[in-house]
Structure 1
Amino acid sequence: MLNRSIKVKGSQFVDQEGRQVILHGINMVCKEGNYIGAWDEKDFRKLKEWGFNVIRLGIIWDGVEPEPGKYDDEYLSAIEKFVEYAANQGLWVFLDMHQDLYGVDYGDGAPQWATLSDGAPHVTGEVWSDAYLISPAVQRAFDHFWNNAPAEDGIGLQDHYAAAWRHVAERFADHPAVIGYDLMNEPFIGSDANQIQPLMYAKYAEEFAVAEEISDPDIEQLMQDFFDPEKRMNLLQFMSETERYTSIIDVVTEGYARFERDTLSSFFSKVTQAIREVDSETAIFLETNYFSNIGVLSGIEPAIDVHGNRDANQVYAPHGYDLVTDTNFSDAANAERVGLIFERHEQTRGRLDMPLVIGEWGAYYGSSGATEAAYVVKDMFEKLLCGDTYWSYEGSNMDEYTFFKAIRRAYPMAVAGCLQHYRHDPDSDAFTMTWEEANTSSAEGVSLAATIIYVPDLQKAENGGVALSPQGDSFHLERIEGTNAGYVVISPSTRLGESIVRSIRIGS
C-alpha cells in the first residue's frame, strides 16, 4: 500500500509522493538466548492485518559484537530475515539497539567484555527497573560507558559501540524497508542519579507535609516505600493531579537535562557520525534520558556532524510510561500524568522540529483492566498526530486482549496534504478525519496522490457508511486478503490546482 521511501521533512514523515505518513506499529525484541525471536512470516502477516506499517525491531549489542571488534554476521543475517518478512508485508522497520540494566550481566544489552562495574554488587528490586536506582553495579557500568573507559583491547566503550552501529548500518543502508536506527534504548545517567533523584523524594515530602500538616516527614521511609510496589501506589495517589505531579518531578529537570546536553547528545553525535560514514540517509532515532519516560522535560539536542552541523534526518523517539508500569497495577495509570508525559514530549518535538514517534508505550501484558488506560494514550496520539510503536509483540493472539482495540484502530497511513485531525471512536467504531489537500511533489513532477486510511473492519464502509467531502469525490476500498480489514483509498479532489479542506466519516 505504501511507497517504501519515506524521509524526514520538518516535523513530519513524507513519502516520495509528498504525502504525510503516520507511523503506527509494534516492538519486536528478543532479549534471551541468541536474541533471535521465534517469529515467522505468519506473525508479520498478522501485523499487516492489524494495520501496522512499522516495526521497532530490537538488536542486542552482545549479539552484534560478542567479542571486542568481532561481529557476528550470522546474527545480523537472522535479523535481516525478519526485515525481509516485514518488507514482504509492506512494513517498514527501524532497528533498536536495546538494553535493559546496561548489559547481559544484569539484564540485556552490552556484552560482558563491555561491562566494567569494578566488582560493585548488583542489587535487584521487586520491580525489575528499580535496579537502575539501587544497583551499584548497573550504575558503575553506565559510568564507565559514559566516560568512554577502555575495554580490554584499549579502545573506548563508546568507540566500540559506535563502530558496532557502523557495521550494522553498512549492512542495512540500502535495504528499502529499513527507515531508521534507534541508537540506544532508554539511556540511563549512571551513579549521578544518586544526587538527582533524592530531590524528587524531598519535594514529595515537602508537598505531602503541607497537605497533611506534618512538621517532620520521614524522607528515608518515603524512599523505601517507593520501592515497594503496593506502597508506591499509595504514594502515586498523592500525585494524581497534574499541578502537584509537575511540581514534584520538575525539581530533577535540570540535572537530567545537563546529562542529556553534555553527555548523551555528544554520544548520539559520535554514533551518528560513525553511521554516516556508510549510510547518509537512513533516519537517526533519538531517545531521552530514562526519566523523561515519566514526564521529566527532556534536554536532548540534535545530533551533529563532524563540522558541527545538524544532521538532516533525525526523529525524536521518546517513550511514555506512567509510574505504575511494570507493577501489577499497570491498568491504574493516571490520565492526568499520562497526558502530561505526552504533552512534554510534544513540547520537546516542537523545540527540536523533528517528527515524533513514541517508541514504547503500553506494556499491559494482557491485563484485563487496561482498556481505559490504553484509550487515554490512543487519544493523545490522535491529538498530537504522532507515530507510535506499542510495547510489545506477544504473539498472534494479542487481538484477544480487551485493550487491543486501542492499538488496532483506524488511522491515516498516508495523507495527500496536511493532516489536521483524526479520531477513531472505540465505542461506535466510527472514524473521522480532516485534512488540507494540495498538489504534492513526486520524483516525476507535480501530482496528486491518493490518501490511504487503514480500517480494521471494512464492512461498515462497504455498506455505504462513508461520507466524503466535497461530495462527489471518489474513493475505493481495498481488502487485505483473507481478512475483514483493509484500506479506504481516497482519490484526489477534482478541484485541481488549489488547496482544499476535505473530511471523511467512516461508520455511523
Structure 2
Amino acid sequence: MTTVRTSGSRFIDSDNRHIILHGISMVCKDKERNYIDDWTPEDFMRLKHWGFNVIRLGIIWDGIEPEPGHYDDQYLEAIRHWIRLADQHDMYVFLDMHQDLYSCLYSDGAPAWATITDGHIYEKTALWSDAYLFDRAVQTAFDHFWNNSPAPDGVGIQDHFIKAWKYTVRYLADEPNLIGYDMINEPFIGSGVQRIVQAMFSEYGELASRLAGGQPPDMEELLAMWHDQDKKMEALSLLESIDSYRQVMEASAIAQGDFERNVLSPFYQKVGDAIRECDPDGILFLETNYFSNMGVPSTITPVLDQDGRQDRQQAYAPHGYDLVTDSDYVHAADNERVSYIFRQHEATRQRLEMPMLIGEWGAYGGSSEAENAALHVQSIFEQLLCGDVFWCYWSPDMDRYSSFKGVCRAYPMAVSGTIIRYAYRHEDDSFRMEWEEDGSLSAPTLIYMPPAQEHTANERSVRLTPAGSGFEWTQLGSYGAALLRIAPSSGSGTRSVTIG
C-alpha cells in the first residue's frame, strides 16, 4: 500500500498519482457484541472486487472507553484486525468516530456515563432520526458534550472524548494503510435545533400559504404533517422547486453558521491537535453539522497547525442525503435537490481549498427502486472529481439490488498526472477519461472496470491516445471485474483512454 496525502484539491499517493477514493462504510453498532462484527476475509475480498479502495471503519466511543479513563484494548485489537484485513486486500482505511443520537442509551456513540440529560427521558420516534429534531434527552446530551460538562470523575466529557481519540490514534497509527480520522459522525447542534426547526417549518408554512392563497398552517399542524409519512411526502412536493428548497434550508443558516464557527470548528481544532501529537501525517476529515448534509452552506474552518497555518493534511468530508432518506420513499430522492446539495458542498470545498470526499451517501438498503437515484449521484461524483464512501456494507448480497449500479462503477483508482474528466456509462459498459500526464512519474495509471454482462475484461476494446508503452488487463478473481494498467508515456501532455 502507498500513503495517501492531500495536494490542493486532490488526493495523491506516494507515487504522486492523482487518486480517487471510492469506498464503503463498515461499522458495528451493536453494544451486545461490544461493537465487533463477524466480517470475514471473504467480505473484504468481495469489497475489493466490487472496486472499493477505501473503508470508512466505524469506531464507537463506548467501545473504546466503557468506563471513565479506562480503555478497552481488546476492542481496539479487533479494529486493528479489520484494518489489517483491508490492507491484505489493498484497501485504505480511515477511522470514523461514529454516533447516532449521541449515546449508546439511544442508539450508538457515547458511553452511558458520558450521557447527561438533566432528567429528560428519551422517547423513540417512528423515524429514528426525527429524535434529533424533537427529543429533549438527545438534545440535552449534546448540549452537555459541547459545554464539556464534567463526567463522574470530574473530567469534562468532551475532554474524555478527545483523550479517547488520542489513545486510539497512538494505538493504531502505525498501521500502514490507515490514512486518517473522521473526527465525529454527523455532529449535531443540541437544543439549538429548536431554533432551526422553528425557522425551517415557519418558512415552509409561509411558502405553502403563498401558493394556496390562505393563512399559513400553525406549528402544530406542520409537526403533525412531518410525523405522518404519507403527508410528509405530499408536503415535500412543494420543495421540488429549488428556489423553495433553498429558502427553507437557508432559513436555518444563521443558527447553523454560529454553531459551526463557534462550537464545531474549535472542537475540530482540539481533536486535531490531540491527533497530531500521535500522527503528524494522517488526514483529518472534517464533517459539517447535521443539517448541512441537506444543502445548508457550511461555515466550518480548517484545522490550523502549530504555526497558525492551515494543516496540510485535511479533507472536507460532508454527507449528502435527500429529505426522503431513512424512509420507505428513499428511492424517490429528488434529483434537483440532490444536485443542489452537492453544489453547496463543492462551493464549501473551494472555500476551504482542500480535497473533498463525500463521507456518506446512498442508504438505499433493500430498496428495489433506487437505481435512478444512485446513478444520478454517480454522475455528480464524476463531475466533481471527488471521492465518496457509500453507506453502508449491510449484506453480502447488496449487489443484487438495482442501486448497486451507481456504487459498483468504473473509475480511475490512480492516475499518473491529474484527472481532467471521466465518465462511465452502464448502458454500454463504456468508460472515457482525459488526464494531464506527468512525465516525471513512473507508476502506471489504474482504472477499475466492474463485471461485464456479456464479455470478459480482455474482450473490451481500449483506445489510448497517445499509445505510449501500452496497457494490460488484470482480472480480479471470479467476480468478472478487472483493472486496466496503462503504462506512462515518455513525456507530459494530455492523454485520453476510451474503453468499450
TM bucket (normalised to shorter chain) is over 0.9
Structure 1: gaps (5+ residues): 440-445
Shift of 1:241: 1.7
Moved more, 37-46 or 223-232: 223-232
Structure 2 residue corresponding to 1:455, chosen from 428, 449, 452: 449
Moved more, 301-310 or 203-212: 301-310
Q: Indicate whether 1:8 and 2:6 are aligned.
A: yes
Task: Quote the residue 1:340 is aligned against.
Answer: 340
Q: What are the superposed Cα offsets for residues 102-144 of structure 1, whole Å, 9 maximum, x if unpaired?
A: 0111110000000011111213221100001111000000000
Contact 1:43–1:395 (CA under 8 A) maintained in structure 2: no
Shift of 1:250: 0.8
Shift of 1:244: 1.4
With over 3 angstroms needed to count, the CA separation of the structure-2 counterparts of 1:118 and 1:464, relative to structure 1, is closer
Q: Indicate whether 1:487 and 2:480 are aligned.
A: no
Contact 1:363–1:392 (CA under 8 A) maintained in structure 2: yes
Contact 1:124–1:134 (CA under 8 A) maintained in structure 2: no
SS at match of 1:78: helix
Percent identity over the alignment is: 49
Measure, in 2, the Cα distance between the counterparts of 1:283 and 1:367. 34
SS at match of 1:402: coil
Structure 1 residue corresponding to 2:25, chosen from 24, 27, 33: 27
Task: Quote the residue 1:203 is aligned against.
Answer: 203
Contact 2:374–2:406 (CA under 8 A) maintained in structure 1: yes
Shift of 1:473: 4.8
Shift of 1:217: 3.0
Contact 1:240–1:334 (CA under 8 A) maintained in structure 2: yes
Look up the equivalent residue of 1:435 and give its one-letter code. Answer: W
Moved more, 11-20 or 468-477: 468-477
Q: What are the superposed Cα offsets for residues 17-37 of structure 1, whole Å, 9 maximum, x if unpaired?
A: 111010001000100021011
Shift of 1:471: 4.1
Structure 2: gaps (5+ residues): none
Contact 2:357–2:387 (CA under 8 A) maintained in structure 1: yes
Q: Indicate whether 1:267 and 2:263 are aligned.
A: no
SS at match of 2:102: coil
Moved more, 395-404 or 134-143: 395-404
Q: What are the superposed Cα offsets for residues 41-80 of structure 1, whole Å, 9 maximum, x if unpaired?
A: 1100000110100000000000000000000000000111
Moved more, 451-460 or 41-50: 451-460
Q: What are the superposed Cα offsets for residues 427-452 of structure 1, whole Å, 9 maximum, x if unpaired?
A: 1111111111123xxxxxx4333110
Superposed, which structure 2 residues align to 1:282-431 within 5 Å? 282-305=282-305, 307-431=307-431
With over 3 angstroms needed to count, the CA separation of the structure-2 counterparts of 1:265 and 1:464, relative to structure 1, is closer
What TM-score does the superposition give when structure 2 sets the normalisation length?
A: 0.97
Q: What are the superposed Cα offsets for residues 342-385 of structure 1, whole Å, 9 maximum, x if unpaired?
A: 11111111011111111111111110000011111111111111
Look up the equivalent residue of 1:455 and give its one-letter code. Answer: M
Moved more, 141-150 or 240-249: 240-249
Look up the equivalent residue of 1:488 and give its one-letter code. Answer: L
Contact 1:126–1:228 (CA under 8 A) maintained in structure 2: no
Task: Quote the residue 2:126 is aligned against.
Answer: 126
SS at match of 1:239: helix
Measure, in 1, the Cα distance between the counterparts of 2:221 and 2:480. 55
- Count of residue correspondences: 496
SS at match of 2:252: helix
Contact 2:206–2:216 (CA under 8 A) maintained in structure 1: no
Shift of 1:229: 1.9
Measure, in 2, the Cα distance between the counterparts of 1:472 and 1:182. 40
Shift of 1:464: 4.9
Contact 2:113–2:151 (CA under 8 A) maintained in structure 1: yes
Shift of 1:220: 2.5
Shift of 1:309: 3.3
Shift of 1:426: 1.6
With over 3 angstroms needed to count, the CA separation of the structure-2 counterparts of 1:447 and 1:377, relative to structure 1, is closer
Task: Quote the residue 2:462 is aligned against.
Answer: 466
Measure, in 1, the Cα distance between the counterparts of 2:217 and 2:139. 28
With over 3 angstroms needed to count, the CA separation of the structure-2 counterparts of 1:469 and 1:461, relative to structure 1, is farther
Q: Indicate whether 1:160 and 2:153 are aligned.
A: no
Contact 2:59–2:96 (CA under 8 A) maintained in structure 1: yes
SS at match of 1:201: helix
SS at match of 2:239: coil
Contact 2:162–2:271 (CA under 8 A) maintained in structure 1: yes
With over 3 angstroms needed to count, the CA separation of the structure-2 counterparts of 1:228 and 1:307, relative to structure 1, is farther
Contact 1:460–1:506 (CA under 8 A) maintained in structure 2: no
SS at match of 1:238: helix
Task: Quote the residue 1:83 is aligned against.
Answer: 83
Contact 1:6–1:14 (CA under 8 A) maintained in structure 2: yes
Shift of 1:472: 5.8
Contact 1:123–1:134 (CA under 8 A) maintained in structure 2: no
SS at match of 1:237: helix
Moved more, 317-326 or 422-431: 422-431
Q: Indicate whether 1:478 and 2:474 are aligned.
A: yes
Moved more, 228-237 or 99-108: 228-237
Measure, in 2, the Cα distance between the counterparts of 1:447 and 1:340. 37
> CA-atom RMSD, angstroms?
1.3
Q: Indicate whether 1:44 and 2:44 are aligned.
A: yes
SS at match of 1:38: coil
SS at match of 2:421: strand
Contact 1:475–1:491 (CA under 8 A) maintained in structure 2: yes
Moved more, 384-393 or 300-309: 300-309
Task: Quote the residue 1:255 is aligned against.
Answer: 255
Moved more, 215-224 or 247-256: 215-224
Measure, in 2, the Cα distance between the counterparts of 1:232 and 1:467. 50
With over 3 angstroms needed to count, the CA separation of the structure-2 counterparts of 1:221 and 1:464, relative to structure 1, is closer
Look up the equivalent residue of 1:12 and give its one-letter code. Answer: R
